[in-house]
Amino acid sequence: MGKLIITAALTGNITLPTQTPYLPLTPEQIIDDAVRAANAGAASVHIHGRDPQTGKPTTDPEVYRKIASGIKERSNVIVCITTGGTADMSAADRVKVVPALKPELATFNMGSINFSIHPIAERYKDEDYKYSWEKEFAMGTKEFIFRNTFGDIEHFCKTMKESNTRPEHEVYDVGAKSCRIR
């Protein structure tokens, strides 16, 4: 049998805090979960930063810096930083963490896709939401296309190459085409 590589995705950008009490939101919670995953056998951890006050997905390099450095202080697991972002983030917003941190690995989405969690919004009453942004966030995905144009992909390739960051290619359907970092 060949080598098995396990990656633990700890938060995701799309999971709402209301959906589960086990979603790590603060850098400290994400660091603790990453170290637990590494100790359980994960070779890499896939990191999505959250605003520690609101739990909302963020691309703030300082949040990611705190998370990545905290993980590396306690583990030698590979840290994979997301460039996924959310519906209101441009490609430049999504990739800005790469030149800021120069991580060893970062996500690299290979194409645009339809991506929605809007039915989740119907599961909860307004007063059930943990944070005020969650319902609007979920409903907003009904008209969302997860944009990864060839121009975006080229920008991600260039940024990762200049930052000496390896891409973690993410292919969600057969329409995604490969891209080579030159």
Is it true that domain 7-112+149-170 has CATH number 3.20.20.70? yes
34 burial type by CB count under 10 A (0-12 exposed, 13-18 middle, 19+ buried) = buried
Tens digit of each residue's pLDDT (9 = 90 or more) over 65-106: 999 999 999 999 999 999 988 777 889 999 999 999 999 999
User: Containing H/E element for 114?
Assistant: strand 113-114
Residue 138: helix, strand or coil by DSSP? helix
- What is the pTM for the complete model shown? 0.90
Is 79 within 8 Å of 71 (Cβ atoms)?
A: yes
* Contact yes or no for 8/45 (Cβ under 8 A): yes
User: What tens digit of pLDDT does each residue of 11-60 get?
Assistant: 988 899 999 999 999 999 999 999 999 999 999 999 999 999 999 999 99
